[in-house]
Structure 1
Amino acid sequence: MKGLISVGLALLVMGLSFWAYRENYATQASLGVVRGLKAEIAATQAHLDRLNAEWAYLNRPDRLRDLAELNFRRLELLPLRPEAFAGVEQVAMPPAPGAVASELIVSSEAPGGTEEPL
């Protein structure tokens, strides 16, 4: 009986060691993927920072003003003035929620000539 228990325990230890070996390599592979993703994220962030800096450089007000003056005949761009914008009172506002429901109820008379309560 002792021999059977010893063999069973030996097989159990071998099985657990094989499982631990496989998990170790799977973990190392996953960590490698994570490192690659972190490097890709860092490169993308650096590229995004570079694009934001370029966008800020290209959208400087003095540069845009010079471009507008340079291309005035072709584009006919005018400087922005407060008078060019509409006032708040000129903006079309959506109707109130209660107004929509009252407009939908036109008549309380049903199409057959009989009246039905609402």
Structure 2
Amino acid sequence: MMRIVNIVLVLVMLGAATWTYSVKHIAENKVSEIKRLERSIELEKDTIDLLQADWAYLSQPARLQTLADRYASELQLQSTAAQQIIHPGELPAPPVTPIGDPVADIIAGGAADPMTTGSVEGN
């Protein structure tokens, strides 16, 4: 009887050791994945900072004025008149599409596209 208990306890100990090693291995993989994602996030943040600095340089009014003066003859740029600026309410209404227009129905989402393939999920 004592021998069976010892064998069962050894098997339980081996199972627990195997389970512990498995959990440790999974945890190490998750930690390495987290570190990889953190490095990726830092790289993206650095890229965003670089692009923002680049945009700040490229959109400097003095630089743009210099470029406008340099290429004025080629681009034929003109100053914007106050009458050219309008508010969104002054824009013309969107065009009216006739009922039954298949292209307008597809764009509006009212009709199913007959060319939809099986690789595209339907709504």
Q: Determine helix, strand or coil for the equivalent of 2:78.
A: coil
TM-score (normalised: structure 2) = 0.67
> Which stretch of the first structure deviates more once superposed, 78-87 or 20-29?
78-87
What's the CA shift string for 1:4-50, capped at 9, x where partnerless? 12211220111111110122122112211211221121012111111
> Counterparts of 2:78 and 2:94 in 1: how far apart (Å)?
32
Q: CA deviation at 1:85?
A: 2.2
- Corresponding position of 1:61: 61
Partner of 2:77: 77
Per the alignment, residue 29 of structure 2 pairs with 29
User: Partners in 2 of 1:79 and 1:59 — Cα distance?
Assistant: 18
Distance, in Å, in 2 between the alignment partners of 1:78 and 1:64 is 14
Q: Which residue of 1 aligns with 2:7?
A: 7
Deviation at 1:2, TM superposition (A): 2.9
- Structure 2 Cα separation of the partners of residues 94 and 84 of structure 1: 20
**Aligned residue pair count:** 99
Q: Distance in 2 between matches of 1:92 and 1:18?
A: 72
Aligned to 2:42: 42
Residues 82-101 of structure 1 aligned to structure 2 (within 5 Å): 82-86=82-86, 90-94=90-94
Shift of 1:90: 4.2
Structure possessing the higher radius of gyration over alpha carbons: 1
Closer, same or farther: CA 88–2 of 1 in aligned 2, 3 Å: closer
| 5+ long unaligned stretches in structure 1 | 96-102, 105-118
TM-score w.r.t. the length of structure 1 is 0.69
Q: Counterparts of 1:33 and 1:88 in 2: how far apart (Å)?
A: 48
Moved over 3 A (4+): 86-90
